[in-house]
Structure 1
């Protein structure tokens, strides 16, 4: 059976769920936090060491300003209210993306959350925030040139936001959309991908366990026979 060490998730469908059930995209984002908590709990139960969540892409700045503000406030409130629970659960937080372009108050809270959880090791939750994989690759190459080191696969890996994080074995995208949306393009080269029709707030623990069980029985060749 295939071991699962790192799961990445594109949490698609919050806005559509909110419109359908509450006539508000923001309501869907709020309800989606319950699914985040469920997945975190399941990762701990399944002894999965890394979880990466696509929270806000570099393209999401095109969304309405009030929705962007709501998303950032939602994250701030989550970090303030849940940080002690995360510490108690031995969860480490790491944020990846162009964080310097985020609101200053959020940047400060991010740094504080990372500092408070840095010694935890049951589960590392990577939050991709203002993240775009193409920019990540460009930045990695710029760093390599700046350091005047050889441009190769190892050095690209070592200058990505995900340095020292193993590549995901498994990617899940909810929301009935079958694309990667500029997420971990380098890191997903040999990742098994599962596209789910359900919107993120409707994604259940049974759905997560079903995908994990299916993944564990996939024959993974990595280019061989």
Structure 2
């Protein structure tokens, strides 16, 4: 999974985002919760463009967690419909902008038609070189670790960090450098537990539908001002 950790590395290569607050945003406006998710999709598109503008090669978006299956059926159905519409309508946009899209998570839990739509989007965008966009759906960090361990065990492989990295869902991506969470919550909610072990955390009070490019750039600027020690003493010591 990318290059080894380097305490001297200051480059920002991989941003992961927990897009929290869609439902609350809709509730504040007396709208159905799915309207918050619909608005949140537009914000996600803006963040994709922002990463391309800042030449950040990897972006991972937490779109739907394994725990989200517990939500009311009407909200889940609306989300699945939105996923399908977005994957169909945005494929051409991603191709035109050089964005490679990959979905990670327990994809088999989704309707077969939606699974095919995801696979098609991955296929048509496979040649993208500008940005690697990973969309986590029906995903949890614990699931990712368990499935990686199971894969190694079934293959009779060695349980080393390098081998473990190769079996994670994000095998093609480097470790997370910056993890952003919106919605005024300060937890990582079972997201990329292994990959974000040394990530810098940034929490925003804004709900995801209100999160703007300027907020995204503020998070990046905040990251740039931090000293990443990876267990070393650091320059200040």
Where on the TM-score scale, by shorter chain, does this alignment land: which range? Answer: over 0.9
Partner of 1:51: 59
Whole-angstrom distance in 2 between the partners of 1:98 and 1:33 = 21
Partner of 1:79: 87
Partner of 2:6: none
Whole-angstrom distance in 2 between the partners of 1:22 and 1:73 = 21
Whole-angstrom distance in 2 between the partners of 1:205 and 1:24 = 25
Aligned pairs (5 A) from 1:118-137: 118-137=126-145
Gaps in structure 2 of 5+ consecutive residues? 1-8
Paired residues, number: 225
- Offset, 1:22: 3.5
- Offset, 1:23: 2.8
Whole-angstrom distance in 2 between the partners of 1:3 and 1:157 = 21
SS of 1:106's equivalent in the other structure is: helix
Decide whether the 8 Å contact of 1:144 with 1:151 is kept in 2. yes
Aligned pairs (5 A) from 1:1-225: 2-225=10-233
Whole-angstrom distance in 2 between the partners of 1:22 and 1:81 = 27
SS of 2:60's equivalent in the other structure is: strand
Q: 1:87-124 CA distances to partner (integer Å, 9 max, x unpaired)?
A: 00000000000111111010000111101011111001
Decide whether the 8 Å contact of 1:35 with 1:203 is kept in 2. yes
Whole-angstrom distance in 2 between the partners of 1:80 and 1:132 = 25
SS of 1:51's equivalent in the other structure is: strand
SS of 1:59's equivalent in the other structure is: helix
Aligned residues: CA RMSD: 1.0
Decide whether the 8 Å contact of 1:173 with 1:194 is kept in 2. yes
TM-score by length of 2: 0.93
Task: List 4+ stretches of structure 1 deviating above 4 A.
Answer: none
